[in-house]
Amino acid sequence: GAVVSQHPSWVICKSGTSVKIECRSLDFQATTMFWYRQFPKQSLMLMATSNEGSKATYEQGVEKDKFLINHASLTLSTLTVTSAHPEDSSFYICSARVFGGIGQPQHFGDGTRLSIL
C-alpha cells in the first residue's frame, strides 16, 4: 500500500519550455504533498508543501512564479516549471503522507529527471 506515482520519469526539453510533473497517491488520500529538488549525491531540498484546495507553501528562496504548484484533489499534485532554463535541470521528487494518523512516514514517488537543453 501507500504508492505514490510520479510522471514523467525523465524529461528533456528546450530552454523556455514549461514542464509539468504529476504526483499521484494511488491508494490513499493525501491532503499534503511535498516537492523536493535533489542534486547528485546531495540531500533533498524541500521546495514547497502542497496542500489540497489551498495555495502551496514555498520554502525561502524558491520562486513561486517559476515553480507553480497545484493540488486540486486529494490524490493529485502537479509541479510546473515555467520557462525552464538549463539551471533548472535537476532531479525532482514528490512525496505524500497518508491522511490522518500520527507519525505517518512520507511515501515518495520515483522522481523526475529534468534536463533543459
Partner 1 sequence: AQTVTQSQPEMSVQEAETVTLSCTYDTSESNYYLFWYKQPPSRQMILVIRQEAYKQQNATENRFSVNFQKAAKSFSLKISDSQLGDTAMYFCAFMKLGPNAGKSTFGDGTTLTVKP
Could you tell me the smallest distance in angstroms from the CB atom of residue 16 to partner 1?
27
**Cα torsion 111, 74, 33, 49: sign:** positive
Q: Which stretch binds partner 1 (CB under 8 A): 15-23, 61-69, 82-90, 107-115?
A: 107-115
- C-alpha distances out from residue 69 to 35, 52, 65, 79, 101, Å: 9, 11, 9, 5, 25
Q: Compare residues 17 and 104 and give the one whose CB is closer to partner 1.
A: 104
Q: Which stretch binds partner 1 (CB under 8 A): 13-21, 67-75, 76-84, 101-109?
A: 101-109
111 binds partner 1 (CB under 8 A): yes
Taking the C-alpha atoms of residue 81 and residue 107, their distance in angstroms, rounded to an integer, is 22
| CA geometry: angle 115, 51, 106, nearest 5 deg | 70
- Write out the binding residues for partner 1, residues 18-77 only, by CB under 8 A: 32, 34, 41-44, 46, 49
Cell of 94: 514528490
Residues of the shown chain interacting with partner 1 in the complex, contacts defined by CB under 8 A: 32, 34, 41-44, 46, 49, 91, 93, 95, 97, 102-111
